[in-house]
Amino acid sequence: MKRNTWQREAVRAALDDAGGFVSAQGLHGALHASGSPIGLATVYRALADLAQEGDADSLQSPEGESLYRACSTADHHHHLICRNCGLTVEIEADAVETWARSVAAENGFTQAAHVVDVFGLCAACTAAAATLREPS
């Protein structure tokens, strides 16, 4: 049975508003800024619950931080994430699905699952960085 406390609903709504991937601390900061008295530990717990039930995607940043996002689809998918502005693009990766299945089968693995997310600089941030570097 799902626990639908107000804390959880608040976290869910804040996640929707955030758009891209956010850390528990980032989300807690946003909730506080909007006047919510919710505690950081509660935010951590609510995010873990949402992720476990498939209501949110979770991934590890290259720095090892857990990030969460309310994704547009519960179907298996991958992400391109801008490490500068947090822009997230949901992508399908048929080549990855095929490769993961075959490499698992070759090694006798069943029920294989994988998480593949690509971090980089989005087009806008790449253009902004180029402008900064150019002496005008």
Helix, strand, coil share (%) of the chain residues, nearest 5: 45, 15, 40
Q: Nearest approach, Cβ of 41 to Zn ion (angstroms)?
A: 25
Strand ranges in 1-136 using DSSP code E only, listed in sequence order: 22-23, 57-60, 66-69, 78-82, 88-91, 117-120
Choose, by CB under 5 A, the member of 48, 51, 104, 125 that binds Zn ion. 125
Number of residues in contact with Zn ion under rule CB under 5 A: 11
The Cα 55–Cα 31 span in angstroms is: 19
Q: Does 114 count as an annotated binding residue? A: yes
Told to check if 122 binds Zn ion by CB under 5 A, we report yes
Told to check if 82 binds Zn ion by CB under 5 A, we report yes
Q: Nearest approach, Cβ of 32 to Zn ion (angstroms)?
A: 25
Q: Does 71 count as an annotated binding residue? A: no
- Tokens at residue 133, please? 């570097």
Phi, psi of 131 (to 5 degrees): -60, -40
Told to check if 67 binds Zn ion by CB under 5 A, we report no
Binding residues for Fe cation, as ranges, are 76, 97, 114
> Which residues would be at the binding site for Zn ion (CB under 5 A)?
57, 71, 82, 84-85, 87, 90, 96-97, 122, 125
